[in-house]
Amino acid sequence: MFPYDTADWAVVDGPMFMLANTSWPGIFTAIAAVLCVWVLAAGFRSEHEQYAKFEK
């Protein structure tokens, strides 16, 4: 039976996320953290360049 056919948690007998109990959630988190740092660094660099144009 598909778990969403009833409003009862008894039909759910395992993880709903296929990669649960593996190292993939940590890998995805690390990738997301690296992307966030990269975006922040790129934004800081861009803002600093724009500020330097008007500082002269």
Provide the whole-model pTM: 0.62
Structural domain contains residue 41: yes
The residue-averaged pLDDT of 37-47 equals: 97
Q: Which residue has the tokens 């861009």?
A: 46
What total of structural domains would you count in the chain? 1
pLDDT at position 16 over 60: yes
Cβ contacts of 21 within 8 Å, gap of 6 or more: 15
Reported as a pLDDT band with limits 50, 70 and 90, residue 9 is confident
Q: Which domain holds residue 30?
A: 22-56
Q: pLDDT class for 13, splitting at 50, 70, 90?
A: confident
Q: Decide if 15 is inside a domain.
A: no
Instruction: Look at residue 12 and tell me if it is in a domain.
Output: no
How much is the pLDDT for 48? 93
Q: Is residue 27 part of a domain?
A: yes
Q: Is residue 14 part of a domain?
A: no
Give the pLDDT confidence score for residue 44 in this predicted structure: 97
